[in-house]
Structure 1
Amino acid sequence: MGFDGLRSRRAGWVAAVLVVVATVTATDASAGDRFDSRLDAIAAHGVLTVCSTGDYKPFSYRDSGGNWSGVDVDMAGDLAKQLGVKLRFHQSTWAGIGTDVGAKCDVGMGGVSITLARARTAFFTQPYLRDGKTPITRCENVDKYQTLQQIDQPGVRVIVNPGGTNEQFDTANLHKAAIVRYPDNNTIFDALLAGRADLMITDATETRYQAGQHPGQLCAVHPDQPFTFAQKAYLTPRGDVVFQQWVDQWLNIALNDGTFQRFSASALG
């Protein structure tokens, strides 16, 4: 075979290989566009599933009839609207919400605090609220529970909902006081009012809200100067940068165009 024939055959081989590569690449790209990101899967399925605990007013509450309400419930509705899909909720727990995202739902919402432990299993969006742990007690006891030293004394009962950052804070900082684990976060403040505990340490946002719901009965203790620094954000599945970035941009717009303020004004001020 002459040089021209060999060159022609090689050119044919190269062309054939390029066709195969192009076909595989196009197929992979098509599959990737459809399946690599939850953003596309949600659009294809037409449903956004949101994990929330449903026991944390004013962010997320599920009543006995299964109806959801709260600031982050409204935000979830706007997120679904912007995606052009229906909204569905999955009731999660504080201990499990970090791992439920991606396995049982698309997003975690409902006053979720940013922690390094949760960041191991899921991505966080940008923060939308600054917060921190501070006490709430019956109003006549405000002066008694200003500091951790005052709180961490024998005979003091600190009530807490198990599984979340409140319990983690109490376990790490209280060694003499009695930690009263109370499983129903929806009625925990009723238990505090009834005298089943002396105080609760929770997010400053929640102390302000609950004090507003029980004026003259429950009082937030220095909510503007909490014991800790914390921020709240939304959870998205770990590894899905495309979806995380989309949700993050949606949140950025909502924080700056009045959407978040419209939903949160009455509850958060």
Structure 2
Amino acid sequence: MTFRSHALRRSITLPLLILTMLLAVIAGSTAVASRADAAPAFPTVEPGVLTVGTEGTYSPFTYHDDTGKLTGFDVDVITDIADRLGLKIKFVESPFDSLFPALEAGRFDVIANQISYSDERAAKYDLSDPYVESAGVIVAKTDDDSIKSVADLRGKTSAQSLTSNYAEIAKAAGANVVSVDGFTTAINLLDQGRVQATVNDELTVKDYLRTSKNTSLHVAATTPDVSRQVFAARKGSQMMPAINEQITALRSDGTLDKTYAKYFNATASSSSTWDVVRRNLVPMLKAAITGTIPLTAISFVIGLAIALGVAIARMSNRRVVSSIAALYISIIRGTPLLVQLFIIFYALPELNIVVSPFPAAVVAFSLNVGGYAAEIIRAAIESINKGQWEAAATIGMNYRTTLRRIILPQAARTAVPPLSNTLISLVKDTSLASTILVLELFRRTQEAAAPTFDYLPLYAAAAVYYLVICLVLSFGQSNLETRLRKFVAT
């Protein structure tokens, strides 16, 4: 009896065990399938992260609030999409005209910056379904009644970002288009009377007029076309079906309407100019300490090392060596620093050479300093009397020892003033690094001025920071010159 009961229990337990294992496998497979369905079926620049390019200075779509946090209509929409796709989100900020080159260089996955749909863009990029629509408007001076339609732009000067659809509208109407880096610059030029019009998104313009309470400007006319705002990705990125699905879901459940109301139906907050400046002084100082100063210091030290090597090569008796050094100097001095930055950051990725923003800026600035400082160092070395070389040779010093212990200490005294000028120029040139996604003092100032339009006080504050840095460097230059006088031969 006992044997039969035991056998019976075994006969029941075994099938139950097998059934349990099968159910576990099925459940596990279902869970894996669910996770696979939840995970996006497209590659991203960083695994598990949706990297988004945005301007950060285009209120109310992408801007920094009073706390310095990146916010805006486009920022919220793409963040909601990333959350629903199970992705973390990372924003990379850049001037508008740099967004598409950076996208093509693989710096981010998608652009979220009020990109208007056009057939030309659709042929070159993957564009999402529209997530908001708005009209284009022409802004002019309130006392200027000469513009009442798009046709009236003919012969007028209009400030536009050249990579925007609105620039094409102005050009097609016969306007003389002045290139600017964004809406804030365009509206500022118009307000100052430097241009006669600007064409831009209706929502952006209304937000500006509501926030700034500027009665000297008005909406003079509406363009006949309706602008459909989309997200843009590289061609063949495979992410747009998933993004489009989430745009539809956001519209269906009312989230998109709530986000719209948050930014376009809100009342304008009032802050005094002093409040705006006061709350941005620390962030601007932090940007100077963590961005401008380190970038200057690292680039200058590396640049001096390059310059010394190039200067010595330039003085070489070997024609090939001297010619290569001369060619390097000619290339650096004959091309704009901004072009050099763009080649290193945006063009090299086409050769599969991808350099991060800060190192790319260091490389560009170092090479630039090397080209200019090389001639300064060469001139300083050649200014030393040849008798110094001969005297060193008579006591058995070789070329390297003579250069290090006799010539360079004396040449340094001559080279310090012009090299100091190069260093001070480098401090100011670092503002160009914002074009390749580096956050430094001037970029932080632009972020602060964009939503508030308090240009004069904020730019004046930035000028004070630059001035203080340069005064400190000038003081250091004076002290260094005093210490080096003892090396001058008499």
Structure 1 length as normaliser, TM-score?
A: 0.72
Deviates more, 1:59-68 or 1:99-108: 59-68
Q: Report matched runs for 1:243-262 at 5 Å.
A: 243-262=239-258
1:129 and 2:132 matched:
yes
How far apart, CA to CA, are the structure 1 residues paired with 2:243 and 2:117? Answer: 16
Q: SS of the residue aligned with 1:111?
A: strand
How far apart, CA to CA, are the structure 1 residues paired with 2:115 and 2:130? Answer: 10
The structure that has the greater radius of gyration is 2
**Residue of structure 1 aligned with 2:72, choices 67, 70, 73:** 70
How far apart, CA to CA, are the structure 2 residues paired with 1:235 and 1:97? Answer: 10
**Residue of structure 1 aligned with 2:225, choices 225, 228, 252:** 228
Q: SS of the residue aligned with 1:248?
A: helix
Residue 266 to residue 194, structure 1, CA distance change in 2 (3 Å): farther
Deviation at 1:92, TM superposition (A): 4.2
Structure 2 counterpart of 1:54: 56
Structure 2 counterpart of 1:91: 93
Residue 137 to residue 121, structure 1, CA distance change in 2 (3 Å): same
Deviates more, 1:245-254 or 1:190-199: 190-199
Structure 1 counterpart of 2:123: 120
Deviation at 1:95, TM superposition (A): 4.2
1:237 and 2:242 matched:
no
How far apart, CA to CA, are the structure 1 residues paired with 2:140 and 2:170? Answer: 15
Structure 1 counterpart of 2:451: none
Q: Report matched runs for 1:101-120 at 5 Å.
A: 101=103, 103-120=106-123
Gaps of 5+ in 1: 1-33
Q: SS of the residue aligned with 1:249?
A: helix
Partner letter of residue 219 of structure 2?
A
How far apart, CA to CA, are the structure 1 residues paired with 2:245 and 2:134? Answer: 22
Partner letter of residue 90 of structure 2?
R
Deviation at 1:78, TM superposition (A): 1.3
Q: Do 1:210 and 1:218's aligned partners in 2 also have CA atoms closer than 8 Å?
A: no
Structure 1 counterpart of 2:204: 206
Q: Do 1:49 and 1:106's aligned partners in 2 also have CA atoms closer than 8 Å?
A: yes
Partner letter of residue 265 of structure 1?
A
Deviation at 1:96, TM superposition (A): 5.0
Partner letter of residue 211 of structure 2?
Q
1:34-90, CA deviations, whole angstroms, 9 ceiling, x for partnerless residues?
A: 9xx964545982311011223322212258997422101111221222223321112
Partner letter of residue 244 of structure 1?
M
Structure 1 counterpart of 2:169: 169
Q: Report matched runs for 1:168-207 at 5 Å.
A: 168-174=168-174, 177-207=175-205
Structure 2 length as normaliser, TM-score?
A: 0.42
1:196-216, CA deviations, whole angstroms, 9 ceiling, x for partnerless residues?
A: 222211222222222222333
Q: SS of the residue aligned with 1:56?
A: coil
Residue 206 to residue 184, structure 1, CA distance change in 2 (3 Å): closer
1:4-49, CA deviations, whole angstroms, 9 ceiling, x for partnerless residues?
A: xxxxxxxxxxxxxxxxxxxxxxxxxxxxxx9xx9645459823110
Give the number of the structure whose residues are more often strand, by fraction.
1
Partner letter of residue 146 of structure 1?
K
Partner letter of residue 140 of structure 1?
D
Q: Percent identity?
A: 20
Residue 179 to residue 125, structure 1, CA distance change in 2 (3 Å): closer
Residue 38 to residue 237, structure 1, CA distance change in 2 (3 Å): farther
How far apart, CA to CA, are the structure 2 residues paired with 1:198 and 1:146? Answer: 13
Partner letter of residue 54 of structure 1?
G
How far apart, CA to CA, are the structure 1 residues paired with 2:210 and 2:159? Answer: 19
Q: Do 1:99 and 1:121's aligned partners in 2 also have CA atoms closer than 8 Å?
A: no
How far apart, CA to CA, are the structure 1 residues paired with 2:170 and 2:196? Answer: 14
Gaps of 5+ in 2: 1-35, 266-490
Residue 64 to residue 195, structure 1, CA distance change in 2 (3 Å): farther
Q: Do 2:158 and 2:177's aligned partners in 1 also have CA atoms closer than 8 Å?
A: yes
Residue 170 to residue 151, structure 1, CA distance change in 2 (3 Å): closer
How far apart, CA to CA, are the structure 1 residues paired with 2:131 and 2:263? Answer: 15
Q: SS of the residue aligned with 1:205?
A: helix
Deviation at 1:99, TM superposition (A): 5.4
Partner letter of residue 256 of structure 2?
F
CA RMSD of aligned residues (A): 3.1
- Higher relative contact order by CA 8 Å / sep ≥ 6: 1 or 2? 1
Structure 2 counterpart of 1:20: none
Structure 2 counterpart of 1:23: none
